[in-house]
């Protein structure tokens, strides 16, 4: 299996509540595309941020990688990376289709378990060296607690190598994690309380396929589970691609453009939730 992984860094930060839409547009400073048959990723970058033309070129290159037979994988790319790219490149329809047709490992575990999971925990569970936490700055000093939140500030200060090195370790280990999951057919991690957890992953499901998963039991959770509609609310509605004269219920037109895999009770509930304000 040929695998490709994608991740980007933004030019502007956003509040800790995770609602980045309030701060949009965020801009893209750099991105990386990792391929399983290459030792190093391809980087895309711009100063102070990538232009719209550069973002569009990057989106086209990702499309070409998919056409070349690579299985595209991200970690939370559906709700964030492709949403940001759609806005910066002004390609919502194309980025939506990329997102729905690709494998988002966080979507798989979130839809199966009803809660989010960090990439580092999944890497640790597979015994794969994880995200880079220590980077060297231009003056030779070492920053020991590097995170994605610091990337916009460091890029603005001209610490390009530090950010790119951090970005590399977001895409290359993800290739190894994807191979491990495809082979073991499971994801493993340890909870914050120290309990081992597993979730079966029979194959590398696309995001479109994940919407066919039954709703998990979240009665044990003390907080509200993530709403699936939040992952795709940025996508254009079906009205954008289907003529009004076509025979399709109004209710269906209000949904983002994805193929329906079943017509069971779950889809009825999903359509209802997606329309709810």
* Contact status, residue 155 vs residue 9, Cβ threshold 8 Å: yes
Match 């590399």 to its residue by tokens. 168
Confidence of residue 119 (pLDDT cuts 50, 70, 90): very high
Query: 0.95 cut: is pTM over it?
Result: no
pLDDT recorded at residue 253: 44
Q: What is the CATH number of the domain that holds 37?
A: 3.30.420
Rounded distance, CA 182 to CA 272, Å?
A: 33
CB neighbour class for 198 (10 Å; exposed up to 12, middle 13-18, buried from 19)? exposed
In this structure, how many other beta carbons lie within 10 angstroms of the beta carbon of residue 157? 12
Give how many domains the chain has, as a whole number: 1
Q: What is the DSSP string of the chain?
A: --EEEEEEEESS---TTS-GGGG----EEEEEEEETT-SSPEEEE-SSS--HHHHHHHHHHHHHHHHTT-EEEESSIIIIIHHHHHHHHT-HHHHHHHHHHSEEHHHHHHHHHSS---HHHHHHHHT-------EE-TTS-EESS--GGGHHHHHHTT-HHHHHHHHHHHHHHHHHHHHHHHHH-EEEEE-TTS-EEEEE-SS---HHHHTTSPPP--TT-SSPPPPGGGGTTTSPBGGGTS-TTSS--HHHHTSBS------SHHHHHHHHHHH--
Which of 70, 52, 62, 57 minimizes the C-alpha distance to 99? 62
pLDDT in tens, 39-61: 999 999 999 999 999 999 999 99
* Mean pLDDT computed over 236-254: 50
Domain that holds residue 141: 3-275
pLDDT in tens, 146-201: 888 899 999 999 999 999 999 999 999 999 999 999 999 999 999 989 999 999 99
In this structure, the strands spanning 42-45 and 28-35 are: antiparallel
Confidence of residue 229 (pLDDT cuts 50, 70, 90): confident
């Amino acid at each position: 299996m040929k695998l490709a992984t994608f991740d980007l860094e933004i030019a502007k930060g956003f509040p800790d509540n995770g609602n980045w839409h309030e701060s949009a547009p965020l801009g893209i400073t750099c991105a990386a595309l990792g391929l399983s048959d290459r030792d190093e990723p391809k980087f895309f970058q711009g100063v102070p941020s990538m232009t719209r033309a550069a973002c569009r070129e990057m989106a086209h290159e990702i499309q070409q990688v998919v056409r070349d037979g690579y299985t595209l994988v991200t970690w939370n790319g559906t709700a964030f990376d492709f949403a940001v790219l759609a806005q910066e490149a002004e390609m919502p329809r194309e980025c939506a289709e990329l997102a729905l047709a690709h494998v988002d490992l966080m979507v798989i575990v979130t839809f199966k378990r009803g809660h989010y999971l960090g990439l580092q925990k999944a890497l640790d569970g597979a015994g794969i060296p994880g995200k880079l936490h220590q980077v060297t700055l231009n003056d030779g000093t070492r920053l020991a607690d590097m995170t994605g939140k610091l990337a916009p500030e460091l890029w603005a200060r001209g610490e390009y190598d530090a950010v790119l090195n951090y970005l590399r370790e977001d895409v290359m280990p993800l290739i190894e994690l994807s191979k491990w999951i495809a082979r073991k057919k499971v994801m493993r991690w340890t909870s914050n309380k120290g309990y081992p957890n597993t979730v079966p992953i029979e194959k590398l499901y696309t995001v479109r396929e994940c919407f066919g998963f039954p709703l998990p039991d979240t009665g044990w959770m003390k907080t509200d589970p993530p709403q699936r509609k939040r992952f795709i609310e940025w996508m254009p509605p079906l009205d954008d691609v289907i003529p009004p004269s076509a025979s399709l219920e109004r209710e269906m037109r209000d949904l983002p453009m994805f193929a329906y895999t079943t017509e069971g009770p779950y889809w009825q509930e999903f359509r209802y939730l997606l329309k709810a304000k």
